[in-house]
Amino acid sequence: ESATAFSCLMSDMWLGEFDCVSPEAFHSVFGKRYPTFSRRTQHDAQEFLICVLDELHEAFKEVRAQLCRHRTGAEARGSGSGTSIITQLFEGQLSYGITCLKCNTITDRPESFTVLSLPIPSRRVCSLQECLDCFFQPDTLTRNNQIHCYWCGTNQDATVKATITRAPQIIIFHLKRFAWQDKHRRKLSTTVGYPLHNLDLSPYSSAFFYNNAEYSLRAVVNHSGDIDYGHYTAFCKHSTTKHWYSFDDVQVTKIPDSAVQTDTAYLLFY
């Protein structure tokens, strides 16, 4: 049902018959499935995005599974009902390399992702590259966070380091602007510089899996305001004209490339 409502919304947007389109029908259907988002109060765009992607994945996965039932054995086995157009476009994979600091044994733990939530290492100004460096830097696990080493047979201190082993076609970065500071949850207004072209993920990728892909920015979700109130807007790049547009409720305006860099960026789509 949510997928059908989403499809109708996309059709209304791309047919070009209206100056603006209200997502009221989709919001109503989606709110029944996820009651948290039915209330007309501010919600987190990243949490909403993950729920939408999960919902569409489940819907498209079901359709794929139904098609598989009508195929012969070999065809059905090759289809994989656990995948969908959503996973094909948005799902990547990390590998967490865990090194026991006593015996130096390394174990790898794979983990799929659709959104990478990046810490912001500075309070004033930093770059997306610095956020990525912070996310992918090795971490030491001690005390209550020790790992159980199979070879040592006991809990041991360890280091853990994430590596991208499969980069998605569309990679989404979530800038963690809402963080705990002095026992209070606050919004970080840090200016994060991000490239419009040639984002290179090779420093964070496994050489064995890396395919020399460089990413270009295609959309930005902005959040202005504070933790309890605010306003979301979006910048999107037209796939044909290559022009950038700002979406602010009913106002859609063409903007220069220079205006795409803002200190309110919250989600980045490459």
Tens of pLDDT, residues 198-253: 999 999 998 776 666 789 999 999 999 988 789 999 999 999 999 999 999 999 99
List the structure tokens of 4. 């059908």
List the structure tokens of 139. 């971490």
Residue 79 — pLDDT band, cuts 50, 70, 90? very low
Q: Is the pTM of this model over 0.75?
A: yes
List the structure tokens of 260. 């795409």
- For the cut 70, the answer to whether the pLDDT of residue 78 exceeds it is no
d(CA 167, CA 252): 32
Q: Are 130 and 191 in contact (CB under 8 A)?
A: no
Other CB atoms within a 10 A radius of the CB of residue 261 amount to 16
Residue 129 — pLDDT band, cuts 50, 70, 90? very high
List the structure tokens of 21. 């389109």
Query: How wide is the angle at C-alpha 43 spanned by C-alphas 24 and 128, nearest 5°?
Result: 115
203-239 core/surface letters (b: 16 or more CB in 10 A; e: else): ebbbeeebeeeebebbbbbbbeeeeeeeebbbbbbee
Q: What is the pLDDT of residue 28?
A: 92
Q: What is the pLDDT of residue 19?
A: 82
Q: What is the mean pLDDT of residues 118-128?
A: 94
d(CA 267, CA 192): 11
What does the DSSP assignment read for 85-110?
A: HHHHHH-EEEEEEEEETTT--EEEEE
Q: Per mean pLDDT, which range of 31-40, 74-83, 143-152, 183-192 is the poorest? A: 74-83
Q: Are 193 and 120 in contact (CB under 8 A)?
A: no
